[in-house]
């Protein structure tokens, strides 16, 4: 029968065995696919034939591997020149394809750094995230923005370096509040010489490089000298700087003496879940820690940790040492791959004694405690989702809830926001913002904005995953609004042909009071939940999070619009040339009115660029 054709596709170890005659023992990567050609697993091999032959045996596998073999209908192979290439390719494919049986690192954001800029006579110290394109000295990574902000706050007290932008610096005529509260030395108005400021910058860089003791000793000596000379105000300022440096170190907690640069990585597994805790040790200082919860798919600890390391450092520079809680299967191969990426030797160690072992033990304790908290939160979240399904009449607890909201001021800078929640709580990596582009939308038309947002969202889903095989499709939509919004959503979803996803409108209800929310569904009367129902609080939190996210996106867009100038649209004019033009002429309007000879007189503006700028404004 035609409908049973998929069932007739052979699967299992005999299918895998049929590939052996075409394989040799070259290094490479293999993919195992199910009858629908979906990738089940991506693996690497030092010798492809040897590795694949292990899957061709009918018995002797653990339950996870046996299940994967039973589902395998075909395989794909790619040979590489070296084992290291195979390892790197494997991790890239896992991150791209997200196979069901692989360990997957789900949260792979970049980490912030501290940047001491080098493009100004008085360098700025600031937080930096992303590609390191700007010239200057980078120190990091730090585990979180909070860790960077705390360190920057204390460094400002200790070294009095500016954090304002170059444009703000150039426009100052008197010191700002930071000078008044002793956080900046006011180089913008000449209160410190370029030479003395450079010495402070050098001290800050030495401190961030781990030479804190010498700096504190030097400051203590200066304080004693000032005190002896009866310069008590200067002595008090130096005392405050020493305290600030001490505060940085105490806030960092663990500051190992024998570990200069390392990532401490500890794994704890329990109940089919895993937590990986990473501590960042740089310049003998602890720059924070982060926990990760990879999808383990039944894998054992060595495989989980190896997959985590491969994926984690796919987009990040590794340190000189990795201190691990467990050994990994291919430590030599991984060390070679990371060394090649960094351009210098990277060691992978599983310490058994001393300070390094204590660091790993501390990270392992954090991993264990973090996983316990996560499992408790997951259990609570599961109860809430089950309660939500019962309250809203759903067939099953939703695995993915999408909540939508709009934000604007009388229609200007309109932005739509989408947040996502599931069994593990808020899924912030899945949040999306939609800049409202429709030219036919009346300012303030919430229905029109919602139509554009949902249309763009589901048209993309239909294009990328028409068979709904991925986890990107929602089980429930929550819309901020009442009967009118729900009717509009029903029309939109009907036009798109997506009529099997339930959606609920959450309206403020009587007097717009929290706790009196009304819930709207198509073809049913509005209903409410009892005032102290945990499900009601859960829905309120989701709605408030969507509102917060949409407002934040709107404010970012509005701030960008306020600071925008016509110069942003001139081809070839970036931040440096824009700064030079504004510094020379005083305003974008003056640049637009300037003659060609005046434009050519600006430092950093070539004759060709001057002609481009002149033509841009005068042809318009």
- Token reading at 220: 């203590």
Q: Which of 229-233, 310-314, 536-540, 581-585 has the lowest mean pLDDT?
A: 229-233
The helix/strand/coil state of 567 is: helix
Q: For 70-88, what is each residue's pLDDT tens digit? A: 999 999 999 999 988 899 8
**CA-based nearest residue to 447, from 472, 479, 476, 471:** 479
Contact criterion met (CB below 8 Å) for 145 and 128: no
Residue 479's contacts (CB-CB under 8 Å, 6 or more residues apart) are 403, 404, 450, 485, 486, 489, 503, 504, 505, 506
d(CA 566, CA 585): 14
Among positive and negative, which fits the CA dihedral 315, 317, 323, 329?
A: positive
What CA dihedral angle connects 64, 70, 75 and 81, to 10 degrees?
A: 30
Give the pairing type, strands 113-117 and 125-128. Answer: antiparallel
The helix/strand/coil state of 292 is: strand
In angstroms, the Cα distances linking 194 to 40, 161, 190, 206, 493 are 61, 12, 9, 18, 63
Contact criterion met (CB below 8 Å) for 29 and 90: yes
Look-up: residue for tokens 């796919």? 314
Query: Which whole number is the average pLDDT over 502-512?
Result: 76
Q: For 242-252, what is each residue's pLDDT tens digit? A: 776 666 555 44
In angstroms, the Cα distances linking 425 to 150, 261, 394, 461, 469 are 27, 34, 19, 22, 22
**CA-based nearest residue to 458, from 470, 474, 479:** 474
Main-chain phi, psi angles of 99, to 5 degrees = -65, 150
pLDDT band at 314 (very low <50, low <70, confident <90, very high): confident
d(CA 354, CA 374): 30
Q: Would the pLDDT of 133 be above 70?
A: yes
Q: For 89-112, what is each residue's pLDDT tens digit? A: 998 899 888 899 999 987 767 889
pLDDT band at 188 (very low <50, low <70, confident <90, very high): very high
Q: Would the pLDDT of 514 be above 80?
A: no
Q: What is the pLDDT of residue 563?
A: 53
DSSP 492-549: HHHHHT--SS-EEEEE--GGG-TT--EEE-TTS--B---TT-HHHHHHHHHHHHHHHH
**Mean pLDDT of the residues in the chain:** 84
Could you give the domains of the chain?
2-97 (3.40.1440.10), 113-252 (no CATH), 261-276+289-305+317-372 (no CATH), 401-561 (3.30.420.340), 566-619 (1.10.150.20)
C-alpha 359, offset from chain centre: 26
Q: Would the pLDDT of 495 be above 90?
A: no
Q: What is the pLDDT of residue 2?
A: 44
Q: Would the pLDDT of 558 be above 70?
A: no
Q: What is the pLDDT of residue 250?
A: 53
d(CA 156, CA 360): 32
d(CA 404, CA 450): 8
**CA-based nearest residue to 66, from 94, 89, 32, 103:** 32
Q: For 414-447, what is each residue's pLDDT tens digit? A: 788 899 999 888 888 889 888 877 666 666 667 7
The Cα angle at residue 274 between residues 269 and 278, in degrees rounded to 5: 105
Q: Is 525 left (phi over 0), alpha (psi -120 to 50) or beta?
A: beta
Contact criterion met (CB below 8 Å) for 60 and 80: no
Query: Which whole number is the average pLDDT over 598-605?
Result: 86
**CA-based nearest residue to 433, from 421, 448, 449:** 449
Q: Which of 199-213, 276-290, 595-609 has the lowest mean pLDDT?
A: 199-213
Q: For 161-182, what is each residue's pLDDT tens digit? A: 998 888 888 888 889 999 988 8
The helix/strand/coil state of 415 is: strand
Among positive and negative, which fits the CA dihedral 537, 543, 547, 548?
A: positive
Q: For 334-349, what is each residue's pLDDT tens digit? A: 999 999 888 889 999 9
pLDDT band at 122 (very low <50, low <70, confident <90, very high): very high
d(CA 187, CA 277): 41
d(CA 416, CA 423): 24
- Token reading at 222: 């200066």
163-170, Cβ contacts within 8 angstroms, sequence gap of 24 or more:
163/124, 163/125, 163/126, 164/124, 164/188, 165/124, 166/119, 166/120, 166/124, 166/579, 167/579, 167/582, 169/120, 169/122, 169/124, 170/579, 170/583
Q: What is the pLDDT of residue 325?
A: 95
pLDDT band at 1 (very low <50, low <70, confident <90, very high): very low
Contact criterion met (CB below 8 Å) for 385 and 290: no
Main-chain phi, psi angles of 144, to 5 degrees = -155, 165
Local structure of residue 442 (DSSP, 8 states): P
Q: For 252-277, what is each residue's pLDDT tens digit? A: 445 677 888 899 999 999 988 899 99
pLDDT band at 511 (very low <50, low <70, confident <90, very high): low
Q: For 20-59, what is each residue's pLDDT tens digit? A: 989 999 999 999 999 988 999 999 999 999 999 999 988 8
Provide Rg for the chain, Cα atoms: 30
């Amino acid at each position: 029968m035609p409908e049973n054709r998929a069932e007739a596709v052979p699967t299992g170890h005999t299918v895998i065995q049929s590939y052996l005659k075409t394989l040799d023992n070259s290094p490479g990567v293999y993919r195992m696919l199910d009858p629908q050609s979906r990738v089940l697993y991506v693996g690497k091999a030092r010798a492809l034939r040897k590795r694949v032959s292990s899957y061709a045996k009918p018995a002797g596998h653990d339950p996870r591997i046996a299940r994967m073999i039973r589902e395998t209908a075909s395989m794909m192979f790619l040979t590489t020149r070296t084992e290291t290439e195979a390892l790197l390719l494997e991790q890239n494919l896992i991150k791209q394809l997200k196979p069901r049986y692989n360990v997957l690192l789900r949260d792979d954001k970049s980490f912030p750094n501290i940047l001491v800029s080098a493009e100004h006579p008085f360098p700025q110290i600031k937080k930096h995230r992303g590609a390191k394109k700007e010239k200057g000295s980078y120190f990091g990574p730090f585990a979180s923005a909070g860790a960077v902000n705390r360190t920057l706050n204390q460094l400002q007290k200790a070294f009095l370096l500016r954090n304002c932008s170059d444009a703000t610096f150039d426009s100052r005529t008197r010191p700002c509040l930071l000078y008044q509260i002793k956080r900046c030395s006011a180089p913008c108005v000449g209160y410190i010489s370029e030479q003395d400021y450079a010495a402070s910058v050098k001290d800050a860089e030495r401190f961030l490089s781990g030479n804190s003791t010498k700096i504190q000793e030097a400051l203590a000596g200066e304080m004693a000298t000032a005190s002896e000379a009866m310069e008590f105000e200067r002595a008090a300022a130096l005392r405050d700087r020493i305290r600030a440096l001490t505060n940085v170190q105490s806030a960092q907690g663990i500051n190992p003496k024998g570990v200069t640069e390392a990532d401490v990585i500890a794994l704890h597994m329990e109940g089919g879940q895993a937590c990986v805790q990473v501590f960042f040790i740089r310049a003998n200082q602890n720059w924070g820690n982060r926990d990760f919860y990879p999808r383990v798919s039944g894998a054992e600890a060595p495989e989980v940790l190896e997959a985590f390391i491969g994926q984690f450092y796919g987009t990040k520079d590794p340190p000189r040492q990795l201190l691990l809680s467990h050994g990994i299967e291919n430590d030599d191969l991984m060390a070679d791959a990371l060394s090649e990426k960094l351009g210098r030797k990277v060691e992978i160690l599983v310490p058994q004694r001393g300070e390094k072992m204590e660091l790993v033990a501390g990270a392992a304790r954090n991993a264990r405690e973090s996983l316990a908290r996560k499992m408790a939160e997951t259990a609570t979240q599961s109860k809430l989702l089950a309660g939500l399904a019962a309250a809203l009449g759903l067939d099953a607890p939703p695995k993915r809830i999408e909540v939508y909201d709009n934000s604007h001021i009388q229609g200007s800078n309109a932005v739509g926001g989408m947040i996502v929640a599931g069994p593990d709580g808020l899924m912030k990596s899945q949040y999306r913002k939609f800049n409202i582009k429709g030219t036919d939308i009346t300012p303030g038309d919430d229905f029109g904005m919602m139509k554009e947002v949902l249309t763009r969202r589901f048209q993309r889903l239909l294009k990328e995953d028409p068979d709904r095989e991925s986890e990107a499709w929602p089980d429930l939509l929550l819309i901020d609004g009442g009967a009118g919004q729900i009717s509009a959503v029903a029309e939109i979803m009907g036009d798109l042909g997506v009529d099997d996803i339930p959606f609920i409108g959450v309206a403020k209800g009587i007097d717009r009071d929290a706790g009196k929310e009304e819930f709207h569904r198509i073809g049913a009367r509005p209903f409410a939940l009892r005032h102290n129902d945990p499900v009601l609080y859960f829905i309120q939190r989701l709605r408030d999070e969507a509102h917060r996210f949409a407002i934040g996106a709107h404010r970012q867009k509005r701030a960008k619009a306020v600071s925008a100038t016509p110069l942003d649209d001139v081809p070839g004019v970036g931040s440096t040339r824009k700064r030079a033009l504004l510094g020379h002429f005083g305003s974008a309007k003056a640049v637009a009115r300037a003659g060609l000879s005046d434009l050519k007189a600006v430092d950093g503006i070539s004759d060709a660029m001057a002609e481009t700028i002149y033509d841009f404004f005068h042809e318009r």
